[in-house]
Structure 1
Amino acid sequence: MSEIQFLNVDLELESKQDISVLVADLKKVATILHYDKDEYRQLARIEVAGEITTPDKAINHLCELIESCSRNALKQWLSCSRRTFDMGFESGTSPKCFNQALHADTLLRISAIGAGVEITIYPFEK
């Protein structure tokens, strides 16, 4: 029997502008899962280094990292057309009901930095 579980939160960024300073600032304190640029846009996917047990804790940690970035990195943050916290979960057959909450303060913090939230559910492998 497979259990539903929280996996992690990825911060997904997309910009038509350069975001290399932002990525470099975040790389010092987080894991860069993906960073790609072409002639049209730049994409990055960033994850908290280490084990985080809830989406609320992961998002708050990522918010702290963003808030502590340099002025130039924050300018690049504001240039992003996509600033999304993607909460990843693995589906399963138990428990019958599974929930994870984001506190009101966390939602306010997400809004204050101009980010959004997504939920991704991955199928469990048999």
Structure 2
Amino acid sequence: MTTHYLNTDLVIDSEDDLTPIVEELGEDVVCLYNGPWGTRQLAAFEIVGHDMDASSCIRAFCGLVEALSPKAREVWDRCSRRSFDIGFEAGLDRESCERAIDLDALEMAVSVRARLVVTVYPPSAIHPETEVGPSSSLPVSRGPR
């Protein structure tokens, strides 16, 4: 099994209720979570359709953010975290994995004041039946990132 790209999530958190953003992003996204996270509010999203690369997902999310109403954009601007979380599943092979984010996607992420995060999941996080040695018995967080 080789290391491979999974998807790109949008993760935001704020002291404010994030429902205006959730409602306006609409059917173009799947809301993975929206609610309290400790003392703050957190929301996590995926773009509908998983055949997109990370750059395409980032551009799609940015287009949706740019189309937010002034009220929802105000909530967005007050978020303390605006992250595009690019997820990979680690492979069992010894090959490196390189993926680039295109400049248009990077510029769009900067324009909406979002950061890029890369998360590499161990093989057992996605396929629990995969045996990878002693670490396979470690618990894996299933909550939003």
Per the normalisation by structure 1, the TM-score is: 0.91
User: Which is greater in Rg?
Assistant: 2
CA contact (8 A) 2:55 2:101 kept: yes
Tell me the matched-pair count.
125
2:110 partner amino acid: S
C-alpha separation in 1, matches of 2:85 and 2:108? 15
CA contact (8 A) 1:21 1:73 kept: yes
Work out which structure has the larger RCO, using CA pairs closer than 8 Å and 6 or more positions apart in sequence.
1
**Sequence identity (%):** 31
Q: What is the 5 A alignment of 1:1-126?
A: 2-37=1-36, 40-94=39-93, 96-125=95-124, 126=130
Aligned-CA RMSD value: 1.7
C-alpha separation in 2, matches of 1:103 and 1:115? 15
Per the normalisation by structure 2, the TM-score is: 0.80
Q: How far off its partner does 1:95 sit?
A: 6.9
C-alpha separation in 2, matches of 1:41 and 1:97? 37
User: Please, which runs of 5 or more residues in structure 1 have no aligned partner?
Assistant: none
C-alpha separation in 2, matches of 1:39 and 1:12? 15
C-alpha separation in 1, matches of 2:95 and 2:110? 32
Closer/same/farther in 2, CA of residues 59 and 95 from structure 1, 3 Å limit: farther
Q: How far off its partner does 1:70 sit?
A: 1.5
Structure 1's consecutive aligned runs of 4 or more residues displaced over 3 angstroms after TM superposition are none
